Structure 1
């Protein structure tokens, strides 16, 4: 890519600097995706770290020990020690503790922006260890959570089409339940708990740029959240990766945003020539 929109590799694999042009596209994506939620939805911005006890409570450290980034500190005696923090692997993990022990009076939806980290083994285009996400999170009854997930996925496909992206849907096993055995993964796919929207981010490189996840009552049970129907709350989320989406748009339309179709520039709020 030209310097206008680019991720610049550093000495750490999967960690990049971004140019001003790239950041302008990310800001445009942030605004364009935020508009998918109701205007009065609760907005949250997460820090890049989360309490280790929360990640242990949801079992991420057992399911994905190879992806988790731990924070080291020094004990009082100067010896290395593990901090009470870990690097945040997904934005929605910050939401559930906020509602721990709550009885929801109505459907609850949030829009979350997060800086996340996963210790990925590969470093092909779009496979980043440090990346940013937009997530919409829903806490509700079982039927309304699933209907919301499917409705938001349809809206996401339409918005990505407005950016000129051709996406394909793929049912995948849901990482929120851990890797599990082969039978568990097959059951997850059969139930359609996770649906990815995949697009080409580089020549021959197709990756998930968004995903819709239905968690059933996994998190409602862990955090003792009661839904509007008096039962354990169900949850769902719709997540977008900013860097992957920016790479996908640049791959589709070229390196220079000035040459992108007017409709794409308009969706992203970029300057449109008169």
Structure 2
């Protein structure tokens, strides 16, 4: 079945958000396209076209409440004529550099895996280490649900969450489960399981963002001086439904962050400095890119209020790299200011006042994919500065 809904009343800049959110309407959706001011959804839902249409209209109403001025506000552009315009993912798959396990879940092989390591090294040495007193931390890929609750992730981005659980600590249940798998000839996707009986309520989820562990680690502390600067890389996990077929939307990805926790001026000044470092990096590596004011894709009924507040207060910037093949750009880095939201949630103090926080994020796989989407795998075509730094790192790593 195909459901077609008019987008009249929804401004063009919200079409992408609607398309993204529509993927979560029903499990049977096969395809979503936006064209001619209409959204076309192919599905096999028992809800029928009427049911799908009513839920699309709910989303349209959510995203179109009032005129909050969702305009592009570009702060910086680095326009470069880049040599490669091919489908880089198709080439990487064809050359067996990427193994696609399913949409959004990849195995990366050489030379892509080396490029990822080089990029992370560069973000540490060329950005993170320029902040005085920065400390490296190492975080788990799993986070407590109790911690995630304090970040408001359950209410702002519930669609992203991967819950973790396990078999109950009950010998009968464990042996019965094992026997049922053996009798079925191995694990089957349709394996009948009573999850309530065999598994407890999840206490953990996969971590969706690197910085959350930093705030958890500082919980109930009183910080000295102006604040602390931490850098860490972590595996992050976000379920994005059919959106995983979009360029760069991975189920499992690596996020390097630089995190500032402290007095307002300390965080704000470091955040502004981070923006300058990002701009320098874009120019030095000659990536076709732009830096703009952005907002998070909140999956809530108060989307417009939250997104508008973020934009009006300029709490989020994104460095977007162009993907020539699809004639679009993707966010590869973000610079965020959270005010005292996490300081209050985790009781992190600067004297008698809650600490404020900010962070700079680098999506390692996205940076690698976007760079290769502009310059290809032929290193002779890479910008001289990037190529020289990459070769110097290779020699140092031997």
- Fold in common (TM above 0.5): yes
Total equivalences in the alignment:
270
The residue aligned with 1:103 is 222
Q: Is the 8 A contact 1:197 1:211 kept in 2?
A: yes
Evaluate the alpha carbon distance shift between residue 5 and residue 214 of structure 1 in structure 2; reply closer, same or farther with a 3 A threshold: farther
Q: What are the within-5 Å matches in structure 2 for residues 1-274 of structure 1?
A: 1-2=91-92, 6-10=97-101, 12-35=102-125, 36-38=127-129, 40-77=133-170, 78=173, 79-106=198-225, 107-121=227-241, 122=243, 123-174=245-296, 180-201=302-323, 203=325, 204-227=327-350, 230-257=352-379, 259-268=381-390, 269-271=392-394
CA drift at 1:162: 1.9
Range moving further from structure 2, 135-144 or 168-177? 168-177
Deviation string, structure 1 residues 40-92 (Cα, Å, up to 9, x no partner) = 52111222111111011222112211111111211234312333211010000
Displacement of 1:210: 0.2
Counterpart Cα distance in 1 of 2:206 and 2:287? 31
Question: Could you say if the C-alpha distance between residues 4 and 164 of structure 1 is closer, same or farther in structure 2, counting changes exceeding 3 Å?
Answer: farther
- How far apart in 2 are the matches of 1:44 and 1:5? 33
Give the structure with the higher percent helix: 2
Please, what TM-score do these two structures have when normalized by structure 2?
A: 0.63
C-alpha distance in 2 between matches for 1:5 and 1:189: 41
Contact 1:70 1:82 in 2 (8 A): no
Q: Deviations over 1:5-29 (max 9, x none)?
A: 943321x211011111001111110
Q: Structure 1: where are the runs of 5+ without partners?
A: none
TM-score w.r.t. the length of structure 1 is 0.90
C-alpha change, 1:189 and 1:151, in structure 2 (3 Å) is same
Q: CA RMSD in A?
A: 2.3
Q: Specify every segment of 5 or more residues in structure 2 that has no aligned partner in the other structure, as ranges.
A: 1-90, 174-197
* 1:127-181 Cα shifts (integer Å, max 9, x gaps): 1111001100001111221121111011012113222212212212246997733
| Higher Cα Rg, which structure | 2
